[in-house]
Amino acid sequence: MDWQAKWIWDKNEPSPRNFYWCARKTFDAPDKFEHIDLHISADSRYSLWLNGEYLGFGPVRAFTQNWRYDSYDITNYIKPGKNAVAVLVQHYGIGTFQYLDAPGGLVAQVNLDGHVVAATDSTWKTLCHPAYERRTPRTACQQAWTEAFDARSEPTGWRKVDFDDSRWDQPVVVGEVGCEPWGKLLPRDIPFLTNAPVYPVRTIRTRTVKAPEQAWGINIRMIQHPEDKTANPLAMIGLVATMLYCSKDTNVKIKPFYCNCKALRLDGADLDKDTAQAGVDICAGGHLLVADITIPWYHDSNFTLIIEGDGVKLQSPLGKDAPTPFAVTSYLPSTDDPSFVSAWHAEKAEELQGIPEVRAVTLEELYEVNVAAITADADDAGAEVCITEPEAMLVANDNATTIAPAKDGDTEILLDFGRMTTGFLEIALDAPEGLIVDFNGFEYISNGRHQPTFTLNNTFRYIARKGPQTWRSVIRRAARYATLTLRFPDGCITPAKFQTIKFYEHTYPYVERGEFACSDYKLNKIWDISRLTVRLCSEDTFVDCPTYEQTFWVGDARNESLFAYTAFGDYKLARRCLKLAGESMWRSPIVESQVPSGWEDILPAWSLLWAMGCAEHYDFTADKAFLEEVYPDIRKQNFNMRRHFTNKEGLYEMEDAWNLLDWAPMDTPRQGAMAHLSMLLCAVYRRSAKVAETLGKRDDAQLYIQWADELKSAINKRLWDENKQAYIDCIHADGTRSSVISQQTQTMAYLCDVVPADKAELFMSYLIDVPEGWVKIGSPFMMAFTLEALDKAGDVAGVVELIRKWWGMMVDDGATTCWETFPGWFGEWPARSHCHAWSAAPAFSLPSYVLGVRPAAPGFERFEVRPFLGDLEWAKGSVPTPHGNIDVNLKRDAAKTTLKLSVPEGTTAIVNGKECSFGIHELSL
């Protein structure tokens, strides 16, 4: 790109929190032209329109110094004469798990037949969007802010050509392309994502509800750490206080909601939280309520309080002139601090007023609206629901669902989209002015109750202007189910007419090249939910889940890459993820756990799985250029592992790291020598040696083999427990040996080839038959390694058995996507996330182990076919490769099993030691 555009931004503040900024420019196009393109980027994200028509969303996530831009062919959107580019920039103003905090900025350029006709500079027209409420809570600690939009304040038609922007502001020019902090501006490296409409399939329930009388929210992190805009976990040590005033004796319910509330005190006495939520009798007058919001370690902290009681009002303990009803302590060194002790034991408001660390909560620190708090547990109002044609809004047609104001309460509609989906929501309605539409999306329903995921605010609020209107959210979210609550203005008698509500599904544009089907209906359903899970967790990177986090976890992505290779035959997204992960070593000694992220975190297993993923990408693609690009990062990580994180006993050990492998009670503290990490590192050294050999770096290869041999010896010398005939989980930092034996560690030992040959058969038995007292596998993610190990052991029957058992359980429960964990880790609910791609192992295992297709040479130039029917009557499918699809059709009759195989041109298949070249082959097995 020959950039003539400049980075521009708002004149008032370089990095405002939760900020929405409009920018527009008109330009003229001649009567005749050949080609027009538009190039654009923004920090943090943009939504783009041309002549009022929506074009797209971006840019892809990236580290600031290697920021990305998008290019659109707008030739067919341009008309001769005047045209208008309109951009809405959403700037987070904080770090998230997808983004490192940086100043706001916009850069855009329109080229017509090679000439620049519009480019961002000081002549553009800009405006802080007045319809977006900035005082909203975070969606989750991993994400930015929830959405609250008041259509009555929107500049109507601002995206269109003829809009009068003469009174809008002019931006500040930040600098030329290449200026700090963005550095390089690189082109987008993957296709644009999909934009496919998905409608609800049914209405589950309609009812009238009553919102809580009072729901308050406070941004504690902003108060206690105002200068910190990272996503790093911090301690919150302090108190929140308010006065409850009532004119008569009453019962009041005090409900902390989705927040850290360690303890409560009322008038200086301890108040049990369960008792407080059920209701406390208080006498007329004022009562001091104090909440301990201390938490030693977390990324974000909000205090949300629901108060329900006849005539109960809140007032600041600092007096009537305080801006909000709440007082708060600034960050305190500990709960033993004298100011904390004095405030915690205060019985009256006056006692707080003399403590210097106690101050009023400002309006900016108080949330204007918390939709999750008022919708998650709304009480049934019991009034008649006034709805006609309730199903009209579920489909694209000219009809509408009419909702009239209820006599008592608000109208709640519970929708089912039929399956999990993710993207941008759009509503179209004809409404009375001031109608409030509250959306709350969630993933799971059981026995008529929906699961509220802790701390998740998967919500928006839309306040309607009068008349017909369509509004599209600019924040990506996911759901299978949702409540839509309509709150009519007081005294309103005009009904609302809802035309549609729909998602524009926004996922990586996979083509479904991979196929699998067999005689077992349940396995077919498992394949379907696994493939859908991978699709919904593929955005501009792989993500762990599309609802709660939307985070590119590097270790998850190693497995997700394999799943995408066999389910879709796509390699670009994995390539992007692997390269992006390697970039994280600009600030860390080894690859970080999730990137690009405002949380600077090391999870060593994920770092090692990244290196494995790089080697496997070459196995599946034969992309040597990729290998050459990432090898310097692989080498850097290997050398740092050896030089800085190998202890005197020859084992891997890092001073402080998140040593997770599975959601299960393994003994993996943040310090010490973890067995599974030494085992993984041993395997990574050996895979790195093959990579180095491929690239002609024989000295490196020999060194890696030497390191692997030394590490294997140290593992068997230091981590083996002869009495238990197994490897212990770790050696603690003080030198004590762990007493915990886990199935996870034994699986990794077998898979990573550290088990001596004379014990291999014993360890094969550990893969399924877990001795009493061992820690068992807790997630489908870890189970994927067991499936891999069983295949290595030649036990494909065991693979099928585990898939039927664990993923079949999800199918039996009605799941449309794969759960994050197996039941037992999140209380009464099966999992925290019900769409989690680290769990989609059958998308890889069924074609690789049942159809039996796996590469024998890079890029499938040679491939093996080792099919397994077991108790199946037939199985068939297609395994995509860079050379084309490998089609497999297996059938068994009384006499024999027949394999029909298509071999792509330029490849050779190996079946039972026999080579088969290009063409269709039919063989008896």
Nearest to 344 by CA among 220, 218, 241: 241
Please, which residues have CB within 8 angstroms of residue 644's CB and are 6 or more apart in sequence?
589
CA quadruple 859, 864, 870, 875: dihedral positive or negative?
A: positive
User: Residue 626: which H helix or E strand, with range?
Assistant: helix 624-644
Q: What is the pLDDT of residue 455?
A: 87
Mean pLDDT of the chain: 97
Alpha-carbon distance of 334 to 345, in angstroms, equals 15
Alpha-carbon distance of 413 to 486, in angstroms, equals 8
Answer yes or no: are the C-beta atoms of 483 and 375 closer than 8 Å.
Answer: yes
Token pair listed for 426: 């759009």
Determine which of 28-37, 118-127, 265-274, 887-896 has the lowest per-residue pLDDT on average. Answer: 887-896
Q: What is the pLDDT of residue 894?
A: 79
With H, G, I as helix, E, B as strand and everything else as coil, classify residue 714: helix
Most confident range, picked from 98-107, 449-458, 762-771: 98-107
Token pair listed for 497: 């007419």
Residue 660 pLDDT exceeds 90: yes
Residue 825 pLDDT exceeds 90: no
* Mean predicted confidence (pLDDT) in 43-58: 98
Q: What is the pLDDT of residue 377?
A: 78
The CB density around residue 920, as the number of other CB atoms within 10 Å, is 11
Determine what percent of the chain is predicted with pLDDT higher than 70.
100
How many residues are there in the chain? 925
* Mean predicted confidence (pLDDT) in 670-679: 98
Q: What is the pLDDT of residue 121?
A: 98
Alpha-carbon distance of 359 to 410, in angstroms, equals 37
Q: What is the pLDDT of residue 363?
A: 96
Q: What is the pLDDT of residue 260?
A: 85
Q: What is the pLDDT of residue 454?
A: 83
- Angle at which helices 780-792 and 743-751 cross, to 10°: 40
- State the pLDDT confidence band at 530, using cuts at 50, 70 and 90: very high
Compute the CA torsion angle 711, 714, 715, 718 (nearest 10 deg): -160
pTM (2 d.p.)? 0.97
Classify residue 877 as left (phi > 0), alpha (psi -120 to 50) or beta: left
Q: What is the pLDDT of residue 184?
A: 87
Instruction: Give the bridge partners for 288, in sequence order.
Output: 243
The CB density around residue 354, as the number of other CB atoms within 10 Å, is 9
Q: Which amino acid appears at position 582 of this protein?
A: G
Q: What angle do CA 289, 291, 293 make, to 5 degrees?
A: 165
What is the tens place of the pLDDT at every residue in 404-415? 999 999 999 999
Q: What is the pLDDT of residue 11?
A: 95
- State the pLDDT confidence band at 578, using cuts at 50, 70 and 90: very high
What is the tens place of the pLDDT at every residue in 604-651? 999 999 999 999 999 999 999 999 999 999 999 999 999 999 999 999
Q: What is the pLDDT of residue 259?
A: 84
Alpha-carbon distance of 591 to 609, in angstroms, equals 10
